[in-house]
Amino acid sequence: MSPPTRLRVALLGAESTGKSQLAQDLAEHARTNQWRVALVPEHLRLWCETHGRTPRADEQWGIAEAHRQHIDAHTDCDWLIADTTPLMVAVYSDLLFQDLSLYPMALDHLMGFDRILVTGLDLPWVADGVQRDGPHVRGPVDQRLRAALESRGLRYQVVYGFGPQRLAAALRGLATGSQAGDGRAVAWQCANCSDPDCEHRLFTQLVRQRRSLNG
């Protein structure tokens, strides 16, 4: 089964979990099918690169709103791939500043997506400029992200794997989903089922495989 030819995809996940690479790989896959692609980069990353620092608490809302506008500006395309959405800004505002005010807007915005992919924590953490806080924040970010999605009833697909395996897992998730009648994004919590223990076993197996490959 192939993914639909018209699709709005939200890529979410903690830092250094391969979101940007996966976004590029999905875009390239769509282009090989002659589909028109809009790939929207993470505005928070661009902001940090421009300013040479991470934002203050009072700057979070403006960054989230700018990201929302950049995504919504793309209407004439077959695939829209958002390399994160305002929800990630909301999660970091929660984690760093105990500010919950961005969640309603960010979750409302996700209702307009057809699929939500959450990148798993099986990839090694890699430093990348001023934006990244360290491997110790990936677990708390992942927990807050999932809790926020589940609080609104937004189902999602967790994507695991290395290299081509990660892309293949994402494409399976995009292909086998269906859009809810009320327009909510639809996905699943695990590649095989919705059992969190099953996902934990899959994650553990993948990490062990990577460690064995690295020697």
Total tally of structural domains belonging to the chain: 1
| Sign of the alpha-carbon torsion through 120, 125, 129, 131 | positive
| pLDDT at residue 209, rounded to an integer | 54
**How does pLDDT run across 24-40, given as a tens digit for each residue?**
999 999 999 999 999 99
Q: What is the mean pLDDT of residues 163-190?
A: 67
Q: Is residue 44 part of a domain?
A: yes
Contact 165, 191 (CB under 8 A): no
| pLDDT at residue 146, rounded to an integer | 95
Q: Is residue 1 part of a domain?
A: no
Q: Is residue 90 part of a domain?
A: yes
Q: Is residue 79 part of a domain?
A: yes
Contact 94, 144 (CB under 8 A): yes
pTM more than 0.95: no
Q: Is residue 2 part of a domain?
A: no
**How does pLDDT run across 123-145, given as a tens digit for each residue?**
988 876 655 567 788 999 999 99
| pLDDT at residue 213, rounded to an integer | 54
| pLDDT at residue 197, rounded to an integer | 53
| pLDDT at residue 155, rounded to an integer | 85
Instruction: Check which CATH number belongs to the domain holding 31 and give it.
Output: 3.40.50.300
Q: What length does the chain have?
A: 215
Specify the amino acid at residue 204. T
Domain of residue 32: give its range. Answer: 7-213
| Structure tokens, 56 | 């203050």
Alpha helices in 33-163, H assignment, sequence order: 43-51, 60-72, 86-97, 103-110, 138-151
